[in-house]
Amino acid sequence: MKKLISLFFLLFLFVGAWCKSYPLRLLNHWDNPDGTVERGFAGRSIWKWEQIPSGKQAMPDSLRRRYDEYGKINHEFGINGTVLNNVNAKPQMLTSDMISKVAKIADILRVHGIKVYLSVNFASPKALGDLATADPLDSKVRLWWKKKCDEIYKKIPDFGGFLVKANSEGEPGPMDYGRTHVDGANMLAEALSPHCGIVMWRAFVYAANSSDRANQACEEFARYDGQFADNVIIQIKNGPIDFQPREPVSPLFFNLKKTKMMAEFQITQEYTGESIHTCYLAPMWKEFFRQIDAFNVPLEGIAGVANIGDTPNWTGNDMAMVNWYAFGRLSMESDTNSKEIAREFLKKAYTSDERFVEPVAQLLMLSREAVVDYMMPLGLHHIFAGGHHYGPEPWYAPRGSREDWLPRYYHRADSIGLGFNRSDHDEPCVAGNGGSNNVSQYPEPLSTLYNNVNTCPEDLLLWFHHVSWDYEMRNGLPLWDNLCYAYDRGVRQAEAFVDTWKSVKPYIDDSRYQHMLVRFERQAKDAWWWRDACLLYFQQFSKKPLPADSPAPRHTLKDLMAYRLRMDNYTAADMNKLP
């Protein structure tokens, strides 16, 4: 019976999948005015604001060439817009000097069919010293935004609009004044409307006191369905938490029926190995497209958090550009085959020699699942090290931290089992807590499928259920054994990537070969780090030995818990200093 239901689920996901090209195909740069890049792993920002003149002087030739190349690449990849700055926006981005600099970038990118957009700080009218408030219902505030939009469009006639992160993770917003997301978004929409500009209002909003962070986007936004202005688009992360290596689709996509939506992916590898690990993200994004297409969810566009910096190869890791390329290709043609995209990229970036293309394309196709296996298999999520999110720290719990920023909030390991109960019923656990009923936010048949531990897809099992260590999975083995074997499988796959890469050495130049070899070797080493840290930590709760055919750990839990990786000055040259 379990197999029949699982087969139905897989067939259901593929029903209705067809080719789609999304009108808005945007990069989101999380770049700051000071040149830093939040969650950036390819050097500093490409936007050299201190070198761009705000007056009538011409753009320096070196920058013009770089931005012209950026425009050409994006046009070739299928991208038609770019948000230049971080969603954690600084008010200074709306000063007259900065707008003049943005206009110079827009002039270069316009030739390539690329519109520019800006992230805006909601408190800008107050922060820039013009007003005493940023209340969206204040007539002076509304007038301030109208005049600011008029100023922008006078310099950039085809300016695309604003991206807004409001009342999230400390950013200001309309709720600071007792107003709603509708009040804030519609105020900006009103100011942009005469110029045909749009507001992309992010749904990444969550409070510290919720019983389940995965519920909060629906709880916050579904009640406002149909109230947003026509030029407001709610920008929703592909999953309900935060760009995890595997997540279900955010349920908010199924709950907004009268509101325009766009999806937000993360091209930069914040949670998938940064600029070191190879993790081809097209298969992840294809999972998303298949499910929303199965439910005929309409989208206005796709945004991707850029993985671009000022390194000569743009993305820090030569192979990481495949994700930039795949993002553009899928936003243009969502049914394009992931392997074909990989093959196209390898031929463009390396060589058309099939002795290289075929094995490396296959490596790419296996890479995302390998990352899931050695990091967080079976639906585990957000058990990363605090701050940099590079390595494993399922134990991370500094005093005074918000509970929903700690791994234990998500894995909920105890002597009975493992996983987050998001069902509509109680499940055995030490705390005795009932389910968060996150499953009710999904349409049928997903809600029923996810709600039952026996029918829930096993790759999301621990996302939706707190499962006994002895729970018998569909292969007849208990959860604990399957968890061990998944981590083992990830390690073996990461080690196999090194062998694959060594086998293609004759077909590319030595510099590019060495550039990736050190990364594949580091990835394999990290896979062991992840595997040992997670299994040894969870073993404290399961009290079970590793299966007889599972290899012995290379590390001790004590050593791993004592280790602190500093990422602030970390470079590829430091790889061998890691554990």
Active site residues: 169, 242, 270
Give Cα 183 distance to the centre of its chain: 27
C-alpha–C-alpha distance, residues 466 and 423, integer Å = 9
- End-to-end Cα separation, the chain, in angstroms: 45
The sign of the torsion formed by the CA atoms of 528, 532, 533, 535 equals positive
The CA distance from 575 to 277, in Å, is: 12
Of 375, 284, 272, 265, residue with least CA distance to 320: 272
Alpha carbon distance 388, 38 (integer Å) = 10
Q: Name, in order, each residue with C-beta under 8 angstroms of 322's C-beta and a sequence gap of 6 or more.
A: 280, 282, 341, 342, 345, 346, 349, 364
- Pick from 271, 268, 280: which is nearest to 308 by CA? 268
Cα atoms in the 13 Å half-sphere on the side-chain side of 468: 10
- Alpha-carbon distance of 92 to 96, in angstroms, equals 9
Bridge pairing between strands 417-418 and 467-468: antiparallel
What letter would DSSP give residue 392?
Answer: B
Angle at 356 between CA 350 and CA 357, to 5 degrees: 75
Residue 240, preceding bond cis, omega within 30 degrees?
Answer: no
* Cβ atoms within 10 Å, residue 545: 10
Identify the three-state secondary structure at position 501.
Answer: helix
* Class of residue 32 by CB neighbours under 10 A (exposed 0-12, middle 13-18, buried 19+): buried
Q: Which of 221, 309, 299 is nearest to 27 (CA)?
A: 309
Distance CA 381, CA 461 (A): 11
Parallel, antiparallel or unpaired: strands 467-468 and 261-266? unpaired
CA angle 263, 269, 272 (to 5 degrees): 105
- The DSSP string of 82-141 is EE-S-SS--GGGGSHHHHHHHHHHHHHHHTTT-EEEEEE-TTHHHHTTS-S---TT-HHH
Q: Nearest to residue 232, comparing CAs of 191, 275, 261, 195?
A: 261
Q: Give DSSP secondary structure letters for 310-367.
A: SSTTSSSSGGGHHHHHHHHHHHH-TTS-HHHHHHHHHHHHT---HHHHHHHHHHHHHH
Q: Is 339 left (phi over 0), alpha (psi -120 to 50) or beta?
A: alpha
